[in-house]
Chain A
Amino acid sequence: KAGVTQTPRYLIKTRGQQVTLSCSPISGHRSVSWYQQTPGQGLQFLFEYFSETQRNKGNFPGRFSGRQFSNSRSEMNVSTLELGDSALYLCASSWTRRFEETQYFGPGTRLLVL
């Protein structure tokens, strides 16, 4: 079974631009969560989508948004990029929307904001 895939793997943007990242979950998984990983803050939860609805949201500004499509694929968008947005963005999928179930992570998209 194919794992979680994320595109693109690497991205360079400049301040003020916006970016869209894509995540395809494992077939059959309906929950997709997004995380930001930085050396200083570690893994921080951004938001979770289940059946095309955002179910949970972390403490990030409104510049961070996402959506989920009917095939469970998800996109994450960051508008008005700031230098501090440079990070590895990970998505994870699972069968259900409860975090007591195993999450399967993708390889991440490394975003560099200049």
Chain B
Amino acid sequence: GENVEQHPSTLSVQEGDSAVIKCTYSDSASNYFPWYKQELGKGPQLIIDIRSNVGEKKDQRIAVTLNKTAKHFSLHITETQPEDSAVYFCAASKGDKIIFGKGTRLHILP
């Protein structure tokens, strides 16, 4: 069945530096790839998503890239700030199913 691998599980970056989180998926039919941010005590919140007909999408300091051939997609956060500290989840969906990665705990160091 569909599987989504997410790396790294923990990431620490200096404030102001960039952070990159990578995910790979197994089902080539997946066509929607959302990224969620989960802060302590809250449910996941969508921060950016990308569909299979697009290779890259950017929203201010956040960008996502998709390589359909290699079946991997990445989240890029530039100029990291303390409020970026959270757990980030990637997911892959093909309409009637969605599979999440195990999450990346991002620490922004002062």
Contact A108 B96 (CB under 8 A): no
B residues 28-54 near A (Cβ < 8 Å) are 31-32, 34, 36, 41-46, 49, 51
Most chain A CB inside 10 Å of its own CB: which residue of B44, B46, B100: B44
Q: Which residues of A contact B100 (CB under 8 A)?
A: 42-44
Contact B43 A102 (CB under 8 A): no
A22–B44 Cα gap in the complex (Å)?
Answer: 18
Contact A100 B103 (CB under 8 A): no
Q: Which residues of A contact B31 (CB under 8 A)?
A: 100
Known: A42-B100, A42-B101, A43-B100. A99 touches B93 (CB 8 A): yes
B63-105 interface code vs A (CB 8 A; 1 in, 0 out): 0000000000000000000000000010001111111111100
Nearest A residue (CB) for B98? A99
Contact B46 A98 (CB under 8 A): no
| 9 sampled A-B residue pairs with Cβ under 8 A | A42-B100, A42-B103, A43-B103, A45-B98, A90-B43, A99-B93, A99-B94, A102-B34, A103-B34
Interface of B toward A, CB cutoff 8 Å: 31-32, 34, 36, 41-46, 49, 51, 89, 93-103
Interface of A toward B, CB cutoff 8 Å: 4, 41-45, 55-56, 90, 92, 98-100, 102-108
